[in-house]
Amino acid sequence: MRGLVCSICGFISIDGVAPEKCPVCGAPRTAFEDKEEAIKDQKDAANPSDLEKKHIPVILIVKKCDLISKGCQDAMVKIGEIDHPMQPEHYIMHIDFYLNKEFIARFKFTPDKLNPATALHLKVTGGKLSAIECCNLHGAWIREVDLSS
């Protein structure tokens, strides 16, 4: 999947437009590079490879939040059906989240200290949530879910 990638922090703009400044690191628009294969996706949903099973985000949407009382639904995300390693030589660096292709959050991970999983408490009930994880060895992988279903 094509994306505009910040050469400073690795943020990927997925709406086809380089932002005036990077929402993660503040780099100027000139720091963005158009990359044809910036993001990997599952090639065959019926037969995912082990590499895909280890890298494609798994997203669970919970319509009722137990932490925030009103107007919240949870998006719980872990990396891969198969646990991804979190060692200094091979780990998930971060997960970026987008709502309707607009960046909303980044979660950074430290190898040996954290598992590659996190949760969002969303104020919205509709739209498309995208999670893009970045592995230090295998690049960026995407999963998208419809929040309306």
Tens digits of residue pLDDT in 129-142? 999 999 999 999 99
CATH of the domain at 32: 2.20.28.10
| Domains in the chain, number | 2
Q: Which two tokens stand for residue 100?
A: 């309707």
Residues 74 and 120 grouped into a single domain: yes
- Residue 36 lies in domain: 1-40
CATH of the domain at 95: 2.60.40.730
- All residues at 6 or more sequence positions from 143 whose CB lies less than 8 Å from its CB, including other chains: 56, 57, 58, 59, 130, 131
Residues 13 and 53 grouped into a single domain: no
The predicted pLDDT at position 71 comes to: 79
Residues 32 and 103 grouped into a single domain: no
Mean pLDDT computed over 120-148: 95
DSSP at 10:
-
Q: What is the pTM of this model?
A: 0.94
Q: H/E element holding 4?
A: strand 3-6
Contact 19, 9 (CB under 8 A): no
pLDDT higher than 80, residue 149: no
